[in-house]
């Protein structure tokens, strides 16, 4: 299956230094002020997600909005795994240490703690932020193809960035709702 840039394919480490993020945003700003603004605001959202996920107990991570919906842990694990797949497998960013992170939300994987989930969010964020300043207009527009399980997918880096934003917002909303309905702190947006 061939996809356009408007449709998408694919359905434990230290926190990156703040200065590195600022330098990354500054480098992105030099080439694309809109992308820079999105990146800076997305970082604030990311930080709020980490702040509410990291301290959760195992019991709190198992809470759900309804019995037939994903748990807080499942939602956060899916966010990390999906980021890992898009960034590492599709965009070919990072080294072999990302092989595992992109499978976190797959069947039979260990349940992650709040600290591990926060680390996964940080780590995938750092991977994206290290790449953004290296991409100019041509690299952002470049179509990338991947064949996975016999299907060929195609998307631009720009589309992947958009998809990661919409994915984080969608599942971050699920997290906020689930946390709030159980009286737990949720991202303050």
Q: pLDDT digit string (tens) for 8-33?
A: 333 322 333 334 444 444 445 456 77
What token pair was written down for 183?
């009286």
What is the torsional sign of CA 167, 171, 149, 109? positive
Specify if 146 maps to a domain.
Answer: yes
What token pair was written down for 146?
């991947």
Return the pLDDT at 30: 52
Number of domains making up the chain: 1
Measure the CA–CA gap between 75 and 175, rounded to whole angstroms: 7
Task: Answer yes or no: are the C-beta atoms of 146 and 90 closer than 8 Å.
Answer: yes
Using DSSP's 3-state secondary structure scheme, residue 55 falls into coil
Angle between helical axes of 72-84 and 157-181 (0-180°, round to 10):
170
pLDDT < 50: residue spans in the chain = 1-27, 29
Q: Which residue has the tokens 């301290």?
A: 55
What token pair was written down for 108?
């039979």
Specify if 59 maps to a domain.
Answer: yes
Q: pLDDT digit string (tens) for 49-75?
A: 999 999 999 999 999 999 999 999 999
Measure the CA–CA gap between 145 and 90, rounded to whole angstroms: 8
User: Cα dist. 155→91, 148, 166, 187 in Å?
Assistant: 10, 14, 15, 30
Task: Answer yes or no: are the C-beta atoms of 5 and 158 closer than 8 Å.
Answer: yes
Specify if 4 maps to a domain.
Answer: no
Q: H helices of the chain, where?
A: 18-31, 33-53, 58-61, 72-84, 98-101, 114-131, 137-141, 157-181
Measure the CA–CA gap between 48 and 131, rounded to whole angstroms: 22
Residue 81 maps to which CATH number?
Answer: 1.20.120.450
Specify if 11 maps to a domain.
Answer: no
Which domain does 32 fall in, by range?
Answer: 18-181
Distant-in-sequence contacts of 112-115, Cβ < 8 A, 24+ apart: 112/73, 112/76, 112/77, 112/80, 113/58, 113/61, 114/53, 114/54, 114/55, 114/56, 114/57, 114/60, 114/61, 115/54
Specify if 85 maps to a domain.
Answer: yes
What token pair was written down for 182?
């159980």
pTM for the full predicted model: 0.82
Specify if 1 maps to a domain.
Answer: no
Return the pLDDT at 31: 61
Specify if 3 maps to a domain.
Answer: no
Specify if 2 maps to a domain.
Answer: no
Return the pLDDT at 113: 98
What token pair was written down for 174?
């699920």
């Amino acid at each position: 299956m061939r996809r356009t840039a408007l449709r998408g394919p694919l359905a434990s480490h230290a926190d990156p230094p703040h200065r590195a993020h600022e330098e990354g945003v500054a480098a992105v700003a030099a080439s694309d002020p809109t992308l820079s603004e999105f990146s800076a605001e997305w970082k604030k959202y990311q930080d709020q997600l980490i702040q509410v996920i990291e301290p959760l107990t195992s019991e709190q991570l198992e809470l759900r909005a309804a019995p037939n919906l994903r748990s807080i842990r499942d939602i956060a694990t899916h966010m990390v795994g999906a980021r890992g797949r898009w960034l590492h497998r599709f965009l070919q960013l990072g080294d072999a240490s990302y092989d595992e992170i992109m499978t976190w939300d797959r069947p039979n994987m260990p349940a992650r703690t709040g600290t591990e989930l926060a680390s996964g969010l940080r780590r995938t964020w750092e991977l994206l932020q290290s790449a953004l300043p290296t991409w100019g207009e041509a690299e952002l527009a470049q179509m990338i193809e991947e064949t996975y399980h016999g299907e060929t997918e195609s998307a631009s880096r720009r589309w992947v960035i958009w998809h990661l934003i919409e994915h984080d917002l969608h599942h971050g909303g699920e997290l906020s709702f689930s946390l709030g309905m159980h009286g737990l702190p949720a991202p303050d947006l």
